[in-house]
Amino acid sequence: MQQLAKVIFALVVFLPSNSYSSETKETERLLRVTEQYGRCADAAQGGFGTYKEIQDSAGLFLKAMVKNIRSMNEIELSQGNEGIIPFINLLGKDIATGYLLKAIADGGNAYQQEKRSLAKTNNWDWKRTYKQLWNKYGCDAIYKGLSH
């Protein structure tokens, strides 16, 4: 219960807007790449035919996201970012990484709105919607780059 209280406190105090406050250009670059991976993980249904292929590709994107988030946290800690230090100190690196993964993995509000709008345009044909998103965001090329 004490850990839950810490999590709630950190979420309320340090990350009220689901944004990652970065102080370096490298962290900003990693954040953009990680957000792209999140969109591709979500759209993986559009790039593959079998459930196993979808799960494997989404897993690959999520692993890359975790690696990037850990790198972002290390960069910001080394730079003394006062916005991230208390968050990581309070929750620990693994829980903080998990929270940030959750915050980034859905692709963001704009992506979710785009996905809903596209699905509506496609008469709620989700397979077609995910295929269009997969293609739009260049996920095939990104996936091939990650899988080699």
Domain ranges of the chain: 24-146
Q: Regarding predicted confidence, which is higher, 108 or 60?
A: 60
Q: Regarding predicted confidence, which is higher, 3 or 66?
A: 66
In order of 49, 74, 110, 116, the CA distances from 122 in angstroms are 19, 42, 18, 10
pTM of the entire predicted model: 0.81
* Mean pLDDT of all residues in 64-77: 93
Of 20-24, 33-37, 87-91, which gets the smallest average pLDDT? 20-24
In order of 57, 65, 124, 131, the CA distances from 47 in angstroms are 9, 19, 18, 6
Q: Please give the Cα distance from 81 to 139 (Å, whole number).
A: 32
What confidence score (pLDDT) does residue 147 get?
A: 85
Q: Regarding predicted confidence, which is higher, 97 or 8?
A: 97
Question: Is a pLDDT exceeding 60 seen at residue 41?
Answer: yes
Other CB atoms within 10 Å distance of the CB of residue 39:
26
Question: Is a pLDDT exceeding 60 seen at residue 18?
Answer: no
Query: What is the average pLDDT score of the chain?
Result: 85
Give residue 4's pLDDT band: very low, low, confident or very high (50, 70, 90): very low
Q: Regarding predicted confidence, which is higher, 41 or 83?
A: 41
